[in-house]
Amino acid sequence: MRGSTSSQPFSHKCFIFQLFSINQKGGKMTLINNMATNGA
């Protein structure tokens, strides 16, 4: 994670967006696994 997003009011939204982007690059299985773990 690069950039001082902590000083921005929408830092949380950007953080979620970056996590989503990383999951897309790494494969959808990562996102599915995270959702399954949180839901279990």
Q: Given this model, what pLDDT does residue 14 score?
A: 66
Helical axes 28-39 vs 11-26, angle rounded to 10°: 120
More confident residue, 13 or 39: 13
CB 3 within 8 A of CB 20: no
Q: Given this model, what pLDDT does residue 16 score?
A: 74
Q: Given this model, what pLDDT does residue 36 score?
A: 75
Q: What is the pLDDT of residues 6-36, one digit of tens each?
A: 555 556 676 777 777 766 666 666 667 777 7
Q: What is the pTM of this model?
A: 0.27
